[in-house]
A and B are shown apart, each in its own frame.
Chain A
């Protein structure tokens, strides 16, 4: 594979952008729908949708993470029988994906040595992503169902995000090793 050099702006075709967003949207929805761990009391389950969102933010950048996170979780809520959460999930996971991707932007190196993700940035990205999701779900939940149930949702959301950050990081590292061309997918 041709080794890329940093700070060289690459041309990514519109078809590639559309395809990557569509596939990562589908993956986010599948991870949200297929793996459900019944912990969070109000949403009924925690899911691995956040693993897909963090992976997308780490690997494909903030724009892909924003759209895939928003659409993937929104569609999963519609398909999975929780349509009342779809609009909320759309906005919250979109903001979360963009924020995590924006923090990680530039931290994704281009050579094998550089691809080792900065631990500080990962920590900041994880904290930011978790704060955004927990806070916004709390506010949305409070508006829809009151402060009590919204508070009860917080532990589940924190667990889901911690699983998302750790899982997303493990997945990113595993895929960088198993399929190196993925480094060229960042835009």
Chain B
């Protein structure tokens, strides 16, 4: 099971500080919804496509569109009947908006490691327990995914060739014992996991060690620079629409 969208790379987006990157993500998320007109939103999408091409393999440049093409067709077909004034313009605006949101998130997750995202959220004061839950869940997702496939294979073997499942409802029905087995397997790990946590000192009021940290002194200037760049980018994008209007 592929656990993340992250792709290794050395682009400017990979090297950009995740704390500044997350703020830029939020800025653009709001910006995309603001009524700046088709030219501005089209430019934003074009820049995001270019950024996507620069950040990872250029052949993956259109992968977000490939993932969302059914909804783009639906937007194109179903939006015009809902609007009497300028249906084409609104349809294009919605197409640009949805595609931009998809590119924005894909770009962020393709260029930011999951561990760095959790570290960044901790830096933004995410509680320790919440970060621990996310980290443990990420550890257990591939493991339980593997367990699911093992149990599914075991059930298939038990059914034999004469009872091979072909029909849709039979496939759905055959899922119930598999899901039950996986759930019991997962539930049974809870007491063991909690005991492991307690043995490792969870709940004891003392400072815990960290594998990865933001070194404030070493990376202080980097964070300052990247935050500054983010603010400049935000200001440029806020001022740009007034040029077109």
A residues contacting B by CB (< 8 A) are: 13-16, 18-27, 29-31, 33-35, 41-44, 48, 51-52, 55, 67, 71-72, 75, 78-79, 81-84, 86, 143-149, 151-152, 167, 170-171, 174-175, 178-179, 182, 185
Contacts and interface: CB of A to CB of B under 8 A. Distances in A.
Given A22-B193, A26-B141, A149-B74, A84 B148 contact: no
Interface stretch (B14-22, B45-53, B105-113, B154-162): B105-113
B194 A79 contact: no
B145 A30 contact: yes
Contacts of B54: none
B129 A27 contact: no
A72 B144 CA distance: 13
B141 A179 contact: no
Contacts of B108: 83
Contact of B144 (A16, A26, A78, A79): A26
B82 A14 contact: no
22 contacts: A13-B194, A15-B194, A16-B194, A18-B129, A18-B133, A23-B189, A30-B141, A33-B141, A44-B70, A55-B183, A75-B138, A79-B1, A83-B109, A84-B106, A145-B98, A146-B79, A148-B78, A149-B71, A171-B176, A175-B184, A178-B180, A179-B188
Contacts of A19: 136, 189-191, 193-194, 197
A185 B133 contact: no
| Smallest CB-CB A-B distances: 5 pairs | A148-B78, A26-B140, A83-B105, A22-B136, A25-B137
Interface in B165-205: 175-176, 179-180, 182-184, 186-191, 193-195, 197-198, 202-203
Contacts of B137: 22-23, 25-26, 29, 71-72, 75
A33 B183 contact: no
B193 A14 contact: no
Nearest to A22: B136
A144 B175 CA distance: 33
A27 B183 contact: yes
Chain B interface main SS type: helix
Contacts, number: 182
Given A13-B203, A82-B67, 9 more contacts: A23-B189, A26-B143, A26-B144, A27-B183, A30-B148, A41-B70, A55-B183, A79-B5, A84-B105
B187 A182 contact: yes
Nearest to B187: A182
Interface string B227-240: 00000000000000
Contacts of B186: 23-24, 26-27
Contacts of A67: 133
B41 interface: no
Given A75-B137, A171-B183, A185 B190 contact: yes
